[in-house]
Structure 1
Amino acid sequence: MTVDLFAGVAVREIGAASGWYARFFGGEPAFRPNEVEAVWEVGEHQYVYIEESVERAGHALVTLFVADLDAVVEGISACGIEPVKRETYDNGVRKVTYNDPDGNELGYGGGPVDDAGNA
C-alpha cells in the first residue's frame, strides 16, 4: 500500500512564512494549491505544507527523520537558520529542533553516531 503523507503547519501570513520555509527546506515549494497554501515535497510521497490560519498558527509539531542529520543541519545553517535545541536520547537517536517565526516546532531526527563518528 502506498501512502502519501501531508503534514500541515498553520502560519499567520503565507507570504512571510513561505520565504522562511523556502530557506528551511532549501528551495521553493513543489506547488501552491491555492493562495493560502504552499507545499514542499520532503521525500517520496511525503509533503509538508503551510496554510495561512491566524487562529491556529504556532502550534505545530513536525519531525522528519533523515539518513544524514549533520548534512541537513549544515544546509539549514548555511541558509541562516539555527536550531533552538539539540538532543540526544538514551538510545543515541538525535533530534535538532527549529522554531519558525510563528513558533511552530520543526525538527529533524537522525540515527545514533557510532564510535567512529558515523551516523
Structure 2
Amino acid sequence: MAGRSATTERVNWALELLMAGRGSTAVVTELSQREGISRRQAQRITAKAHEILVTDLDQTERKHLVAQLVHILMEAAAQALKAKNSGAVVGISKELRVLVGLGADTSPRNSRFGNFAH
C-alpha cells in the first residue's frame, strides 16, 4: 500500500491528465502502467482526481466560465467568417444562442406541434 504522499502525487498526476483532456480510461491505463499498480487502484485514484476536478469546476464562478466560452465561440465565428465557412458560422451561432439564452425556448414541451410521444 502506498503512503499518503505517494497517493497524493498519483491523484495530482491523474488530475493533470484529466485537465489536459485525457479520458478516464486512458488515465487509468497510463496510471496503472506508470505506477505498477492494479487497474482497480488506478480507477480509485482517477475517480478521486475526477471528483476534485468536478468540485473545482462547481466552485468556479459560472459567469466567468460563460464569458470565456462566449469569447472562444466569438473568435471561432470570426475565423469561420474569414474562411467563408457558413456551416461553421451557423453551428457556432446556435451554440452562442443557447449559451446566452437568446431566442425562443425550443424544448419539445414548448413545440408548436406538441409532444407526440404517448
Normalising by structure 2, we get a TM-score of: 0.24
Higher helix residue share:
2
Normalising by structure 1, we get a TM-score of: 0.24
Higher strand residue share:
1
RCO comparison, higher one (Cα < 8 Å, 6+): 1
Compare CA radii of gyration and give the structure with the larger one: 2
